[in-house]
Structure 1
Amino acid sequence: MTVEDHVIVIQPSVFEDAAFDVLRDLPSVKSVTFIRASGYGGHSLPLREITAEEWAKTTILVTGTTLPPSRAAAPNLRLVQLYSAGSNAVVKLPFFNEDNGVVYATASGTHGPAISEWVILNILNFFHHSSFYAKWQAEKRWGHDSEFPSPVRSQYGRTIGILGYGALGRQTARVAQALGMRVIAHSFSNPPKKERVEVAVPGSGDPDGSIPAKWYSGQDQLDDFFTSGLDVLVISVPLTPETKGLINARTLGLLKGAFVVNIARGAVVDTDALIEALESEHIAGAALDVTDPEPLTPGHKLWTTKNVVISPHISGHARGYEYGVANIAVHNVKALDGGWPLANKIDKTKGY
């Protein structure tokens, strides 16, 4: 039987409709309806109610967290393409947890280039003390590097450990390697899945898993990974019961002198333990695009903790983001029709 697809795209106003023209080119797609949304990506919410008639005919949904009210309301839905790289915002929703045959896919890979650039930006800013440049310029003063709290540290030859070697971890590894850093990786899959071809941004990442000089895998090798001489730790694991609070007082204790970067989810890190490790200078510093709680409350101690840089969960926000999401959606519609594996398909048993 020939499938007729009717697509709803819950589209943030900052995104370009033209990104989804590639969906219109698919033979199965008969209509594409854009519903304007506030917010960005995974945090977008529709600005109007989706009608019963629209839900009833929808077969493909591109969305942040908005799902149909019930299977009966959307009997023809077969694919939900998320804007977010993670799935933790939808896994608790009733519709997601129904055994209704709907397939879900994340936008993993879309964020890779922008987020990896944010990671490297913050590593270099910290070890090159670049905040002094803006200070000197504002003061109209020709400063001197003797004012730095420590000598500038080149990252060439240093070791960066990537905890969670998915799309974000792989692209970060690619860029770090270009700086001359030694990359080691940890994957919770045991044995680790070393191959991953990116659909969202073709040519990005580490398709054959050849960049890491050393691999660690599974829960049993976590401590070995943390004590392997890391100069920088990049956290890029999904938030699951297994990873919640993974970076805590004990594990931070194994990271003496490391610079810690969190591009995963705030709850992967015990915030109080991180503050203690920073204030005691047990770790060199931290760059956080995510926090726990999030958003961080105005009076929270983390704001004024030494040697930390915080951004409001925007490291992946970059022009062209929606084109990567559209590439994944097109791939997955073809995969469903052709009977081959989907990109970024969520495993409901794992929650990601």
Structure 2
Amino acid sequence: MTITSEEHVLVINPGEFNPKAYEAFRALPFVASLTVIPGVGYGGRSDPAREVTAEEWARTTVLLTGQALPPSPEAAPNLKLVQLFSAGSNQLQKLPFYRANDKTIYATASGTHGPAISEWVILMMLSFFHNSYLYTKWQAEARWGNDSEFPKPVIDQFGRTMGVFGYGAIGRQTARVAKALGMKVVAHSFSSPPKKERVEVAVPGSGDPDGSIPEKWFAGAEQLDDFFSSGIDVLVVSAPFTPETTKIINRKTLAKLKGAYIINIARGGLIDTDDLIEAVESGLIAGAALDVTDPEPLPDGHKLWSVKNISIAPHISGHSVGYEDRVTNIAIHNVKQLRAGKLVTNQVDKAKGY
């Protein structure tokens, strides 16, 4: 059944992002109002800079947010769609509105981050294997350096194997870029089939929609050991953070990944931090690049800051010009789908946790 009622859109704008990106809503004939409130914080953890009024909550039918939700289902009786700015939804799991309300549909921003994060993955991988941090050091010293100063030999990635743990939008785009470098790709997914069941909305034409890039597929918990033992040189962690995947990269896993370089752009809780530190310090693992950590933000004095061959970034690998436009593309698509009585893209399955 087609919905003919008007839409009232509320945006709690993450951090310093561009509020003009949401003006596209005003061009839609069924949108009666658009309210954009600045956010405090970053990305999926942004809170509104001012209190959302009771009247604003009551009229809102579509909410774009990081993690701020109405105080109760009664406060937002008309809310039918929550469009997240994040690719994950774990930040909502304990919020009262999320737990108490089964009428509202939630959708993630999956697909938005693929280009930026895949480039960040390649950046960190090549920086590590080419010792490129020394170039900046030599230039600052106004000195013509020599590769004899490299702490490890340069290793190009042609013919090496990238393992993608979690073959969603980010994993698929990363595989696409890695293949262009001449890498082999193996992939693991808990539930997604090789062929993607939906068209990419945020960045059309990106990723690996038919699942043809991986040379080998692994699926489900029963094939995890086989995946981690498949000769992976670079492991990209891009799986959802759920009870099933909590600390799934641990001492046992790391032993199977002997010699690999690990890049985590998912959530810090997928990796046992203490086990990773031990593996890197002992030389079992070549190193790691972490855009997410456990705990996060990483506190002053934490050992991770100082471990040789571990690089830390403050959860910003997905930031790029046009981010908000891509999220708006998904939100507008989903509003149209709902109004036409069709399924939305990136809908969160509460039972699975993503």
CA distance in 2, matches of 1:312, 1:214: 32
User: Which residue of 2 is the match for residue 162 of structure 1?
Assistant: 164
CA distance in 1, matches of 2:40, 2:263: 29
Partner SS, residue 5 of structure 2:
coil
Query: Which shifted more, 134-143 or 321-330?
Result: 134-143
CA distance in 2, matches of 1:211, 1:193: 11
User: Are positions 1:341 and 2:347 aligned together?
Assistant: no
Partner SS, residue 86 of structure 2:
coil
User: Are positions 1:186 and 2:188 aligned together?
Assistant: yes
Q: Say if 2:118 and 2:177, in contact at 8 Å, map to a contact too.
A: yes
TM-score, normalized by length of structure 1? 0.97
Counterpart AA for 2:204: P
Deviation at 1:193, TM superposition (A): 5.3
Query: Which shifted more, 94-103 or 74-83?
Result: 94-103
User: Which residue of 2 is the match for residue 79 of structure 1?
Assistant: 81
Deviation at 1:253, TM superposition (A): 0.4
Distance 1:196 1:155, change over 3 A: farther
Query: Which shifted more, 202-211 or 267-276?
Result: 202-211
CA distance in 1, matches of 2:246, 2:293: 12
Q: Say if 1:287 and 1:310, in contact at 8 Å, map to a contact too.
A: yes
Q: Deviations over 1:11-56 (max 9, x none)?
A: 2362223311222222221110111122232121111111111111
Q: Say if 1:196 and 1:206, in contact at 8 Å, map to a contact too.
A: no
User: Are positions 1:273 and 2:275 aligned together?
Assistant: yes
Structural mapping, 1:118-137, within 5 Å:
118-137=120-139
User: Which residue of 2 is the match for residue 101 of structure 1?
Assistant: 103
Counterpart AA for 1:217: A
User: Which residue of 2 is the match for residue 47 of structure 1?
Assistant: 49
Counterpart AA for 1:312: P
CA distance in 1, matches of 2:63, 2:196: 30
User: Which residue of 2 is the match for residue 111 of structure 1?
Assistant: 113
Q: Deviations over 1:45-103 (max 9, x none)?
A: 11111111111111000111111111111111100001111101112111111243100
CA distance in 2, matches of 1:134, 1:54: 50
User: Which residue of 2 is the match for residue 18 of structure 1?
Assistant: 20
Counterpart AA for 2:245: T
Counterpart AA for 1:176: A
Alignment partner of 1:142 out of 119, 122, 144:
144
User: Which residue of 2 is the match for residue 316 of structure 1?
Assistant: 318
CA distance in 2, matches of 1:17, 1:312: 23
Q: Deviations over 1:200-224 (max 9, x none)?
A: 1111111111111111000011111
Alignment partner of 1:296 out of 290, 298, 315:
298
Q: Deviations over 1:201-253 (max 9, x none)?
A: 11111111111111100001111111111010000011100000100000000
CA RMSD of aligned residues (A): 1.3
Query: Which shifted more, 154-163 or 197-206?
Result: 197-206
User: Which residue of 1 is the match for residue 204 of structure 2?
Assistant: 202
Partner SS, residue 317 of structure 1:
coil
Q: Say if 1:42 and 1:83, in contact at 8 Å, map to a contact too.
A: yes
User: Which residue of 1 is the match for residue 309 of structure 2?
Assistant: 307
Distance 1:92 1:257, change over 3 A: same
Identity of aligned residues (%): 67
Q: Say if 2:198 and 2:345, in contact at 8 Å, map to a contact too.
A: no
User: Are positions 1:243 and 2:214 aligned together?
Assistant: no
CA distance in 1, matches of 2:6, 2:205: 32
Q: Say if 1:328 and 1:343, in contact at 8 Å, map to a contact too.
A: yes
User: Which residue of 1 is the match for residue 227 of structure 2?
Assistant: 225
CA distance in 1, matches of 2:198, 2:138: 45
CA distance in 2, matches of 1:149, 1:314: 28
Distance 1:100 1:295, change over 3 A: same
Counterpart AA for 1:269: I
User: Which residue of 2 is the match for residue 64 of structure 1?
Assistant: 66
CA distance in 2, matches of 1:310, 1:41: 18
Distance 1:190 1:179, change over 3 A: closer
TM-score, normalized by length of structure 2? 0.96
Question: Which runs of 5 or more structure 2 residues have no equivalent in the other structure?
Answer: none
